[in-house]
Amino acid sequence: MRYDPQAERKVLMQADQILYLHPREFTVWERDVDIDSRERPDVVLEVDYSTDVRRRKLRIYEAWGFPEVWVDVPDAPSPSRPKSRLSGLTIHVPEDGKFRRVSNSRAFPGWTAEEIHRALDEPATSEETLAALRRVGRALGAAEGTGPDDDPWLRSERAEGRAEGRAEGRAEGRAEGRAEGRAEGRAGMLRAVAAILRARGIAVSTDLTGRLARLDRLSADELIQAAQTCSSQTEFLALLAARPPEAV
């Protein structure tokens, strides 16, 4: 909302959802967000089940300088929704003071509008959505220096999985179990790196994961960072080749 000089509420906007990527920075959570004194949310979600935010609200979000707005039109039809209003999700970000539509989220690097719509609209979380969330989560973690173990629930689940893996490894042979576990983990990470490149619209050759597998001196963080900053596969491989061994 925005207030006038007499502290009277001047404009009120009711979003369907707002998201702060770092909510712990706010010591006191308030239901109202005064945009002249509070930091704007990283993402605002509007669901057009029977409305059209483009008629008014989207222009206000644009004028107030919101960094990212998602507008989702559910697959389920509404009697009051025009037939010309097709289902799907659009992402709006500011550029030179005006909103423009983009295919990928900026707040969640590599998460496409199509993937976000599916995640919001599907009745149960699909394998495709889980794969997208894992990919985006790894990208966020790489950017901020965090990992799955920073979350208490995931840390507990991973610890339990590691304990089961160690037990199986002892039964089948410690050396073999560890080698297979490392190989599977590395292969999964390399597939995630290739997925980040594809999500950013970068063409990926069929032999990329095989070429990356030979670069075992590079860490997951280095591979993901290069995938987030390059503009082509050629530049991606050049960035990796330029990494000094001592940086690993």
Q: Which two tokens stand for residue 8?
A: 């009277």
* Residue reference for tokens 């009711």: 14
Residue 140's Cβ-count burial label (10 Å; 0-12, 13-18, 19+) is: middle
CA distance 83 to 78: 9
CB-based contact 129:121 (threshold 8 Å): no
Element (H, E) at 72: strand 69-73
- Each of the 248 residues of the chain gets a pLDDT tens digit; together they read 777 777 676 777 888 898 988 866 554 556 677 777 778 889 999 999 888 888 889 999 999 899 999 999 999 888 877 777 889 999 999 999 899 999 999 999 999 999 999 999 999 999 999 999 989 988 988 888 888 788 787 788 778 877 877 766 666 655 555 556 566 666 777 788 888 888 888 888 888 877 877 776 777 788 888 888 888 989 888 888 877 654 43
Q: Report the mean per-residue pLDDT for the chain.
A: 82
The answer to whether 100 and 111 have CB atoms below 8 angstroms apart is: no
C-alpha–C-alpha distance, residues 118 and 112, integer Å: 10
| Tokens describing residue 235 | 């530049």
Q: How far is CA 2 from CA 16, 18, 34, 64, in A?
A: 18, 16, 6, 10
- Contact between residue 176 and residue 201 where contact means Cβ atoms under 8 Å apart: no
- What's residue 247's pLDDT? 42
SS3 189: helix
- Whole-model pTM: value is 0.61
Count CB atoms within 10 A of the CB of residue 227. 28
Per-residue pLDDT at 30: 60
- Residue 12: the pLDDT is 77
- The domains of the chain are located at 2-123, 129-143+179-247
CA-to-CA dists, residue 213 to 17, 60, 83, 111, 134, angstroms: 41, 49, 49, 25, 20
